[in-house]
Amino acid sequence: MIGRFPILDISPVTHFGGELIGAKAIPNEEIPVQATIIREGHDGFEAHVVLVDPRGKEISRVAMREIWPKSNRFEGRIRPTTQGLWSFYIEVIAENPGEFKKTLSSSTEKFPINVECERALVGSWYEFFPRSEGALKNADGSITSGTFKTAAQRIPAVAEMGFDVLYIPPIHPIGYSHRKGKNNSLEAKPSDPGVPWGIGNVNGGHDAINPELGTMKDFEDFLKVARKNKIDVALDLALQCSPDHPWVTSNPEWFTKRPDGTIAYAENPPKKYQDIYPINFDNDYLGLFKEILRIVTFWIDKGVSIFRVDNPHTKPVYFWQELIAAVNSKYPDVVFLSEAFTNPPMMHSLGKAGFQQSYTYFTWRVTKHELEEYGREVAHGTSAFFRPNFWVNTPDILPFHLQSGNPAVFALRAVLAATMSPSWGMYAGYELYEHIPIAEGKEEYRDSEKYEIKVRDWSGAAKKGLTLAPFITQLNKIRRENLALQRLRNIHFHPTDSDQIIAYSKREGNNLILVVVNLDGFHAHETTVHWDMWALGFENDHFQVTDLIDNSLYNWSRDTFVRLDPARPYGKVAHIARVQVK
């Protein structure tokens, strides 16, 4: 039933599972509230968006403005200040004209806003395999595995690059049955360490430590080093088992059996994963739920605050909704990242079910049109229920555009990820320009770290200048010092005369950042950027900027000529400019 004044198409409002779910937000994040509001005739009205705190107290009442003349589309911006379940509603007030004057009004119902911790939106993520950090290649060619103790020595360098989240793949015992060898070979040698996602052997399962990495105390000490360096550790939550996992014996009902009584291994035709048993949630849901909640709580109590969930789209969505709600009710600062490179409806449903963040399609968005379209989608179209984390690469994904090994391409992709999204991620080796695919036409690394231990010479690369680490450090410093880059909903794309140069702005209060990127890492391009002055909030056509990459000063205008040459030092693949706002 509409009110006296129809208030329609309200956002951010999301229905999921027959109920309203809270729009995603963090403390002090500005949220644009929009609605179409109409009234019969030609008389005017006033519209306000009212913000209500978790206790039900009205905190602010903001006048809504018409976005475009005669569009009947209105917007007001609200800013919840603390974690908790906030709400908003829209109220319209008008005077009844004529002899019997009186005040008329309409109000909507209250719509929820789920205000979560800062890390739910903002973070610079780095991924490494603990077994590779500090690993040694011996004289006979054998490899001595790294441990939590040696990996902890790498944490300060990760922090120095400006990363504040460290994601580590599963740290549990690895199965022996059907263990995969180098490059996913079906025949593993005795020296092959196995795939960390093949979880479980006689040493334990999801609540145990791989003895090759050390002891539980070693892991606890690893977490202490991370905390000392102001880094949150994200632990992989992979709900699958090797054939040697203790659950296979203790709870065979948790797996799918074939007609012959054997347990079905994982398949994604034509691929077969004989080393992995997927979990069946239909046989003993309550038992499984209780056990998985116990495991998650176990690691939280150890000091883990983030879970990167492997393939959540292969488990029931309602399971995640129940699990995340149960965890966050007791631990509101725990964050779940969805690793689900699947169809958008499933990815969005997982966000609505409670995942604070998600991997995205950014990795494959390359052209100017693709980037602009996707940037608008995640910032404006789906931000109420889907928070993106832009990864430039992963152990599973070596995008085609990186396979040339061109340092400028690595640099420009890092700029895009780090400035378009409040959270971005990078897998170790990116800074060393690792780029060799397993075969032509494949987006997989040759000698993938999933199947073997990598020995990298970090210090040697730094001494030779063969590393992107200084540039990455500068990028993360820019992100850390500019609040506009820590927000999602504020991106605005600006026209350029070249399809090879993209331009966008992000503003938070007086912090205004302009980004211009050459999308071609091989050739110089020049163009005119046509800044939308209304979007920038400027009245004058001329303004001064500081390029935060090299501290150069520029006088720019509504129509700004730029030239970006990737053949020069990698800083010139882009401008990241801070505007002098008065």
Q: pLDDT at position 569, please?
A: 59
Length of the chain: 582
Please choose, from the candidates 102, 92, 18, the residue with its C-alpha nearest in 3D space to the C-alpha of residue 48: 92
DSSP-derived 3-state class of residue 148: helix
Rounded to whole angstroms, the Cα distance separating 52 from 247 reads 47
Average pLDDT, the chain: 95
Largest CA distance in the chain: 100
Catalytic residue, candidates 310, 431, 449, 452: 310
Domain ranges of the chain: 7-115, 119-240+285-485, 491-579
Task: Report whether pLDDT(163) > 90.
Answer: yes
pLDDT in tens, 24-47: 999 999 999 999 999 988 888 999
Amino acid present at 302: K
Respond yes or no: is residue 310 known to be catalytic.
yes
**What is the token pair recorded at 165?**
């989240």
Q: State what percent of residues in the chain have pLDDT above 90.
A: 92
2 band by pLDDT with thresholds 50, 70 and 90: confident
Task: Report whether pLDDT(570) > 70.
Answer: no
Please choose, from the candidates 128, 67, 61, the residue with its C-alpha nearest in 3D space to the C-alpha of residue 91: 61
568 band by pLDDT with thresholds 50, 70 and 90: low
CB 249, CB 242: distance < 8 Å: no
Rounded to whole angstroms, the Cα distance separating 448 from 437 reads 9
540 band by pLDDT with thresholds 50, 70 and 90: confident
* Topology of domain 7-115, CATH: Immunoglobulin-like (2.60.40)
DSSP-derived 3-state class of residue 133: coil
**What is the token pair recorded at 234?**
């994200």
CA within 13 Å, CB half, 59: 17
CATH H-level, domain 119-240+285-485: superfamily: Glycosidases (3.20.20.80)
Q: pLDDT at position 100, please?
A: 66
pTM of the model: 0.96
Task: Report whether pLDDT(98) > 90.
Answer: no
pLDDT in tens, 319-361: 999 999 999 999 999 999 999 999 999 999 999 999 999 999 9
Rounded to whole angstroms, the Cα distance separating 346 from 188 reads 35
pLDDT in tens, 112-126: 999 999 999 999 999
Antiparallel, parallel or unpaired: β 31-37 and 7-11 = antiparallel
Dihedral pair phi/psi, residue 475, rounded to 5°:
-60, -50
Please choose, from the candidates 552, 569, 338, the residue with its C-alpha nearest in 3D space to the C-alpha of residue 468: 569
E strands, 252-409, in order: 266-268, 271-273, 277-278, 306-310, 335-339, 357-359, 388-391
Cα 29 → chain centroid: 17
Please choose, from the candidates 362, 356, 397, the residue with its C-alpha nearest in 3D space to the C-alpha of residue 378: 362
pLDDT in tens, 254-297: 999 999 989 999 887 777 788 999 999 999 999 999 999 999 99
* From 176-190, 195-209, 323-337, the region with the lowest mean pLDDT: 176-190
Query: Which ranges of 404-550 does DSSP label H, i.e. alpha helix?
Result: 407-420, 458-464, 469-481, 533-536
CB 547, CB 555: distance < 8 Å: no
Are both 7-115 and 119-240+285-485 of the same fold? no
Rounded to whole angstroms, the Cα distance separating 512 from 199 reads 47
Q: State what percent of residues in the chain have pLDDT above 70.
A: 99
* Topology of domain 491-579, CATH: Immunoglobulin-like (2.60.40)
Task: Report whether pLDDT(176) > 90.
Answer: yes
Q: Which residues are registered as beta bridge partners of 236?
A: 308
What is the signed CA dihedral for 266, 271, 275, 277, rounded to 10 degrees?
Answer: 0
580 band by pLDDT with thresholds 50, 70 and 90: confident
Place of tokens 């501290």: 551
Q: pLDDT at position 43, please?
A: 85
Task: Report whether pLDDT(496) > 80.
Answer: yes
Rounded to whole angstroms, the Cα distance separating 157 from 150 reads 13
Query: Which ranges of 368-499 does DSSP label H, i.e. alpha helix?
Result: 368-376, 407-420, 458-464, 469-481
Mean pLDDT value across residues 533-554: 93
Cα separation values, 188 from 144, 176, 177, 202, 452, Å: 17, 9, 10, 19, 11
Antiparallel, parallel or unpaired: β 423-427 and 123-127 = parallel
Respond yes or no: is residue 339 known to be catalytic.
yes
Catalytic residue, candidates 291, 339, 431, 452: 339
